[in-house]
Structure 1
Amino acid sequence: MTATVIEPVDGAGTRERILDLSQRYGVYVALAVLIAVATALNTDFMSVSNWRVQMFEAAPTVLVALGMALVIGTEGVDLSVGATIALAASIVPLYIGYGPAPAIVLALLLGAASGLVGGSMVAFAGVQPIVATLSLMIGVRGLAELLNGSSAKPVADATIGDLGEHTLAGIPLMAWIALAATAIVAYTVRRTTFGRQLVAIGDNKRASLLAGLPVRRVLVTVYVLSGILAALAGVLIVGHGAEADPANQGLNMELSAITAVVVGGTPLSGGRVRVVGTVAGAMFMQLISAVLIQHNVPTSTTQIVEAVLICLAVYVSRERGTR
């Protein structure tokens, strides 16, 4: 008996290739087009001073988006990153009297603790990631305001300020930190056993369990890493603004991070992590906002544009996954 091979319809195959190329390279094309259009509308857009400002603004989002990409790679989501930023920010003025190093270390430890709680709820209690991290988002934000109060606290430490304002070779130190984190995450995903386990779990968690992979340990670890990166972003935000304001810092950062990850080509269904695409997605969203603001477009319109981009990115991801 001869096996029958069903050939794909030409139109369907072409559509599949287009969707694949859109998910892989669409963010880079969109970024190039955006830069070209912005430069045509404003000749100062390509100035060194403007790009320095954009890197200052984008660096915290890049850090948070890298952690979010790891979580989404396991078919999860971390809605607590914005609150973790606020928690890290609230700790800095409280412990800066002991020196900048202890304050930064404690902020990162609290970020790790936040991720540990969320990851444990997902891995051991079986709580859905969106529910676990949503409850954590509310609780951690409340804890941050309880520790620091509802008003902003000034932070005048030179070391913290250098992290947020200093430049190295004309590039913000924040951007160098984000670049280093990108290299570490990319190496982890592509070259380590942990990275391969992460992708396998996102692709098929049940099969990973049957294969003997340490699913729970990997899940907890990715949420801890997400918490650490969010806390680091919180420290940089405090340094850049010279104040800690837990009531407002980190607000909607989880949405910005998810947008950057999805626009960058990482599917919400898990099983793949596009690190460089995530960074490009974060820069794209930052430049979209900057261009619209520079041309006096209302914030509400900017939010609508971001929502449309999310829908398009999710559609491309879903269509390709379905086919």
Structure 2
Amino acid sequence: MTATDTSPAPVGEPRRLSPLQLASRYGTVTALALLILFNLVMTPNFLSWQTLNVNLTQVAAIVIVATGMTLVIATGGIDLSVGSLMAIAGAVAPMIFLGTLLPIDNPVLSLALAFLLPIFVTMGFGWFNGLLVTRYAIQPIVATLVLFIAGRGIAQVVTNGNLQVFKNPGFQWIAMGHVAGIPAQVALMLVVAGFAWALIRYTMFGRQILAVGGNERAARLAGISVKRVKSLVYIISGALAGLAGLVVVARNSASDANLVGLGMELDAIAAVAVGGSLLTGGRANIVGTLLGALVIQLVRYTLLANGVPDAAALVVKAGLIILAVYVQQRADRS
């Protein structure tokens, strides 16, 4: 073919990808590799177990939340409430095993409720988000903005704005424990991401999620219950936000409704965007989300380790989102 030939490639000839398509497909892996290489050269003790443990444990909550965000975005939605739902879960759990919410004498029962009740509560708020989106046809960014604002207020009211400091080894195991030598929260992160990956790849519900995000009208004509699919992904997102909230407060040995989950919605959206999932819906790259979260965490670590203020990480994070969306749009057009 000549340089000006626009005919399709012959059968059997591999299709050549444009530079932007290559960047869209392999950009996250390349960015992660470059960050690791830079730190190997410039950052002392980067290969130490302590550094690896810090980065993996810091990224665990981001991945858990971003996994739910990936499913929501795959349907063409968005969930701005995840940070506030983390705060609610993080506020409720200590109140249960400390006895300030429910007077339960059985420590095993109170511990079980401390894990389960907050997640059921955040699932309920996720259902509320889905209700606004599906039944009342409110745009997802507006519908979830409601709990983005009110959710943290609910957490503050529940705790009277007080810091809850605790020491409960059973509850803190979720963040402090280990499974076969792997930090429990990292193992939990991998399990959540693995289930979501299998859901998208192998189940009918996963295909319905992509169909709804790809073309909602066509999905409806094909007999898919669009409202049910959307409602379920918001419930899943709420549940995972609640789980991440438990991990964060267990790791900190304290619950502060003002700080738990603060800015997490931005980290989750950034991880999804950098990971290659289309923010317009129709694509869900769970592995990409995991890698995108690692990129975001390593960017922050790299800046801090080299004396750059933490505030600069916010600017870099914004730049990464813009770049990722730009590359996606250009790659889809080419």
Q: Specify the TM-score bucket, using the shorter chain as the normaliser.
A: over 0.9
Q: TM-score normalized by structure 2?
A: 0.91
Quickly say closer, same or farther: Cα 1:232–1:32, change in 2 above 3 A.
Answer: same
Cα offsets for 1:196-255 (capped at 9, x unmatched)? 000000000011111110100000000000000010000011110011111111011000
Provide the rounded CA distance (Å) in 1 between the counterparts of 2:150 and 2:329: 32
Partner letter of residue 75 of structure 1? G
Contact 1:74 1:271 survives alignment (8 Å): yes
Aligned pairs for 1:184-223 (under 5 A) are: 184-223=195-234
Q: TM-score normalized by structure 1?
A: 0.94
Match for residue 54 of structure 2?
Answer: 53
Match for residue 261 of structure 1?
Answer: 272
Cα offsets for 1:68-92 (capped at 9, x unmatched)? 0000101110000000000000101
Contact 1:160 1:238 survives alignment (8 Å): no
Q: How many equivalent pairs are there? A: 315
Match for residue 240 of structure 1?
Answer: 251
Match for residue 172 of structure 1?
Answer: 183
Shift of 1:149: 2.0
Contact 1:79 1:130 survives alignment (8 Å): yes
Partner letter of residue 210 of structure 1? L
Which segment is superposed worse, 151-160 or 57-66?
151-160
Partner letter of residue 68 of structure 2? G
Provide the rounded CA distance (Å) in 2 between the counterparts of 1:76 and 1:319: 21
Provide the rounded CA distance (Å) in 2 between the counterparts of 1:226 and 1:87: 14
Partner letter of residue 7 of structure 1? S
Of 302, 326, 329, 1:315 maps to: 326
Matched, 1:280 2:281: no
Aligned pairs for 1:21-32 (under 5 A) are: 21-32=22-33
More helix by share: 1
Secondary structure (helix, strand or coil) at the match of 2:76 reads coil
Partner letter of residue 82 of structure 2? V
Cα offsets for 1:94-130 (capped at 9, x unmatched)? 1113421101100110110111000111111110000
Matched, 1:109 2:110: no
Matched, 1:82 2:93: no
Match for residue 39 of structure 2?
Answer: 38
Matched, 1:141 2:152: yes
Cα offsets for 1:49-75 (capped at 9, x unmatched)? 110111111100000000000001011
Computed over aligned residues only, the root mean square deviation of the Cα atoms, in angstroms, reads: 1.6
Shift of 1:6: 5.6
Secondary structure (helix, strand or coil) at the match of 2:46 reads helix
Contact 1:57 1:286 survives alignment (8 Å): yes
Provide the rounded CA distance (Å) in 1 between the counterparts of 2:93 and 2:294: 27
Contact 2:43 2:305 survives alignment (8 Å): no
Contact 1:82 1:249 survives alignment (8 Å): yes
Provide the rounded CA distance (Å) in 2 between the counterparts of 1:295 and 1:268: 32
Provide the rounded CA distance (Å) in 1 between the counterparts of 2:232 and 2:79: 13
Runs of 4 or more, structure 1, over 3 Å off, are: 5-8
Q: Share of identical aligned residues, percent?
A: 38
Provide the rounded CA distance (Å) in 1 between the counterparts of 2:41 and 2:306: 13
Shift of 1:307: 1.1
Provide the rounded CA distance (Å) in 1 between the counterparts of 2:176 and 2:167: 12
